[in-house]
Structure 1
Amino acid sequence: MMLFSLLLCATIFLLLSGIPVAYAFGMGALAFIWMSGRPLDYMLAQAFWQVGSFALLALPLFVLAGQLMKASSVAERLLAFIEAAVGRLRGGLGAVTVIACTLVGAIAGSGSSAIAAIGGLMIERMTDRGYDRGYAVSLVACSSVLAQLIPPSIPMIVFALMTGIPVTAAFLATLVPGILIALMYCLLNMRFAPAEPTPRVVGGRVAASLDTRTYLQKVSLTFRQAAWALFMPILMLGGIYSGLFTPTEAAAVAVGYVIIIGTVVYRGLTPASIGREIINAARISGAIIVILFALAIMSRAMLLEQIPGQISDILLGITDSPWATLLILNLVLLAIGMLIDDVSGSIVAAIVLWPIAQQLGLHPLHFAAIVGTNLGLGNVTPPCAPLLFMAGGIGKSQLSEYLVPTLKLTLLGHLPILMLVTFLPWVSLALPRWLLGIG
């Protein structure tokens, strides 16, 4: 246990020093195996078997679908429709951001993809309409977390693979928490948004407010333009939950669908851009696979050294109260989310905390929902906050500008839903029980 603690501290130091996550965990895994005297060839065979899983093939395919979506005009058309529908309401542009991140989450599956696709467009648009830049950055960052909760979620694919729970059930477990957080952010945005958005100037004149007929015409037009993009999450999720295809097959369908509508319908994709995005997706997926491979090695070594059981004994020995233990688990997950990205955090949670959850008697899908909801909160909580700083970079804003708005949104919007998910299991188990008979 002492050896593991020292290597864990060394790995955290490497992460804080700016070493890429894959290298930090890789060096930690190799050092742990070498110092514990375990045979490396046995560990490598186990890791290769784990990353060769058919279910894991969904990960690079969903990453590719998200990259192709960014390269085409899918995101812009989705934004145009959502803004036409709710943009004229108080705080409407902020609600557009939240809803857009939710829809992108149903396509791309990761928070960083949501920020890349939505942040560059919406931060400037919100500031032009009178929103404070720091608030705009924080709203994009906090809303990007929805991509981790709204299926198909890449972190949930990885978590399900590492723990052996059904991927489809893991998707459903985080769906209700994701919708609740989206609603909370929309309500909070109505409170924090500017009272009167700055009027838009068109051709040197202030644009007049839309009458009902013009409004409906605009919504109808943008809906027709975005219809093919809006059908994409319906196709994927409907196919998965109807049993038509598996999550991995759904990822392949998503790639083919984006290529077709991007080249034939929207004409935003070219052979050159498709090739470029395939390379980008390969780089992103490769980094994730390397992290997964390194942590699979470390996971096997930890199991042989009985580290998870020792950690479980320590945490369970602090208090006899199940509620207090759940709070401790949430604090550990929050710390994990603050240090590393959502995918890596899911792997670490599956390795270290999964045995503790089993010992506590938590339902596997309940724990999956806690992991997904909590890691999202950690990803936008300083001091590390990988998603928050990514949004700050895209929005060209300093931490001092978006720190306070972020704390307001997370404490009033995300944290209450996390507590509901933690202490009311039915929030995460209702859909799996209803649709799949699991839970």
Structure 2
Amino acid sequence: MLILLSLVVLCTLLIIGVSVPLAFGGVLILIGVFGGHDTLAFMPTGHWKVNTIVLLAIPLFILAGILMERGRIAQPLVALAELLVGNIKGGLTAASVFASAIFGSISGSAAATLTCIGGIMMPHLRTAKYPEGMSAALLVAACPLGLLIPPSATMILYAWVTQQSVLRCFLSTVIPGLILVLLLCIVNFFMLRKNNDLLLVGDVESFPKELMGRSFKAIPALMMPVIILGGIYGGIMTPTEAAGVAVVYAIPIGFWVYRGLTWESFKESLRTSAVTIGVVMVMATMVLIVSRFLIFEDIPGLAKGIIFSVSDNPIVVLLMVNLVMILIGMLMDDVSGLLLSAPLLLPIVQSVGMDPVHFAAVLGVNLGMANITPPTAPLLYLGARVTQVPVNKILGPTMVFIVLAWLPTLVLTTFLPQTAMWLPKLLLG
């Protein structure tokens, strides 16, 4: 009864808009008052869990993403993509997808990706007469690609919580991420096939000269993911060291190459990242304490018993686990949703033969899709603010992208293990 009451209180607090750390703090108070548990006994668990060098990569990637945004490092990438595909019907929206994938892989934040790429691309899309609702919906649907395209802060958290290899978790989401990019572009082209009002961007005659100029200008920005991913997969740097290199690289590029950073904007970037990092760490501590209590009460075993009482068919079990993860992701952000669901659901999927690295990819796709799925859909409402498009115009196209792009990716990732496991086995054995 205490567990059920705690879950009801948690869901209620999240639905009415209480922030995630305070909602989990309320659950801890409830456990201490009505459950007879000494909540102080659980506090060292939260402190011990977050006091690790692995998690240092997350604030560093957050800072790198903010410096990219403030330093205008993403703009040359967008300009190059616009030139390459601007003469194709639907090309600008496809460029938005690729830009979201690249920026999201560095920042590791769907919200930061949506804010940066949405702010840059939406004026271009309006000028080219792309439908506002569909354009905003595609930006919303593409922003969670940062959860899948490595290096992903979410996968670092998953590897840390489940004691898996960070590199294997990174590699497990590459193919699902590429599948999602491809499906989003295909659905986008299909939706725009009969729209004859679109303005094509670019001049064919000046293309070679423009291509050379924009490519040269984009080289410093393109080198950032090359250095980071090359360092990680080449065995030169750990993810934490790569995150530090990303910050060090972004500072001079933002100041002296693209001139987006000033001393004031740099200080503001540090303040913004400090606030974001503080929120993430407090949230992680609270969620981990509640998760520890649930494990202490053998909730994973109870959930496993309930699911297997319905059916022991692996397909049915995985469908129910996916449904639970989608519901969790609809109520929470990706970080708190992962920290809560990973330790609770991993024993269940392992019992039907799913590898923990495979589950990393399934969890990443689930949380990304859930964050844009109504009725809660925090990224959907953020997208409406960033793009200045009413939610009712975004809602319909977003559901199309969910049904025709995100759901097929989830099904393939869940029921075709090679989608997640082929690349880690190929490169790491």
TM-score band w.r.t. shorter chain = over 0.9
Give the letter aligned to residue 104 of structure 2.
G
Aligned 8 A contact 1:173 1:369 in 2: yes
Separation in 2 of the partners of 1:420 and 1:160? 22
Instruction: Tell me if 1:72 matches 2:65.
Output: no
Aligned 8 A contact 2:53 2:240 in 1: yes
Instruction: Report the 3-state secondary structure (helix = DSSP H, G, I; strand = E; otherwise coil) of the residue aligned with 1:187.
Output: helix
CA apart distance, 1:356: 1.5
CA apart distance, 1:228: 0.5
Give the letter aligned to residue 203 of structure 2.
L
Instruction: Tell me if 1:248 matches 2:251.
Output: no
CA apart distance, 1:330: 0.7
Instruction: Tell me if 1:191 matches 2:190.
Output: yes
Separation in 2 of the partners of 1:431 and 1:118? 29
Structure 1 moving runs of 4+ over 4 Å: none
- With structure 2 as the length reference, what TM-score do the two structures score? 0.97
Partner residue of 1:406?
398
Aligned 8 A contact 1:38 1:301 in 2: no
* The one of 203, 209, 212 aligned to 1:210: 203
CA apart distance, 1:127: 2.2
CA apart distance, 1:197: 4.9
Partner residue of 2:360?
368
Aligned 8 A contact 1:11 1:25 in 2: yes
Instruction: Tell me if 1:322 matches 2:321.
Output: no
Instruction: String of CA shifts for 1:142-178, please: whole Å, max 9, x gaps.
Output: 0001111101112111121111111121111111100
Relative distance call for 1:334 and 1:42 in structure 2 (3 A) is same
Partner residue of 1:113?
112
Partner residue of 2:168?
169
Instruction: Report the 3-state secondary structure (helix = DSSP H, G, I; strand = E; otherwise coil) of the residue aligned with 2:259.
Output: coil
Aligned 8 A contact 2:21 2:287 in 1: no
Separation in 2 of the partners of 1:169 and 1:384? 32
Separation in 2 of the partners of 1:312 and 1:289? 29
In angstroms, what is the RMSD of aligned CA positions?
A: 1.5
Separation in 1 of the partners of 2:409 and 2:116? 26
Partner residue of 2:19?
20
Instruction: String of CA shifts for 1:23-63, please: whole Å, max 9, x gaps.
Output: 11122134224433333333111110100111001110000
Give the total of aligned pairs. Answer: 428
Relative distance call for 1:66 and 1:191 in structure 2 (3 A) is same
- With structure 1 as the length reference, what TM-score do the two structures score? 0.94
Instruction: Tell me if 1:337 matches 2:320.
Output: no
Instruction: Report the 3-state secondary structure (helix = DSSP H, G, I; strand = E; otherwise coil) of the residue aligned with 2:388.
Output: coil
* The one of 409, 414, 419 aligned to 1:427: 419
Separation in 1 of the partners of 2:359 and 2:142? 22
Unaligned runs of 5+ in 2: none
CA apart distance, 1:217: 1.8
Aligned 8 A contact 1:119 1:140 in 2: yes
Partner residue of 1:233?
225
CA apart distance, 1:425: 0.4
Instruction: Tell me if 1:124 matches 2:123.
Output: yes
Instruction: String of CA shifts for 1:40-94, please: whole Å, max 9, x gaps.
Output: 3331111101001110011100000011111011111111111011111111011
Give the letter aligned to residue 164 of structure 2.
I
Separation in 1 of the partners of 2:281 and 2:63? 14
CA apart distance, 1:313: 1.0
Identity of aligned residues (%): 39
Relative distance call for 1:76 and 1:197 in structure 2 (3 A) is farther
Separation in 2 of the partners of 1:175 and 1:361? 22
Partner residue of 1:204?
none
Aligned 8 A contact 2:122 2:135 in 1: yes
Partner residue of 2:56?
57
Aligned 8 A contact 2:50 2:281 in 1: yes
Aligned 8 A contact 1:156 1:346 in 2: no
Unaligned runs of 5+ in 1: 201-206
Instruction: Report the 3-state secondary structure (helix = DSSP H, G, I; strand = E; otherwise coil) of the residue aligned with 1:293.
Output: helix
Instruction: Tell me if 1:359 matches 2:360.
Output: no
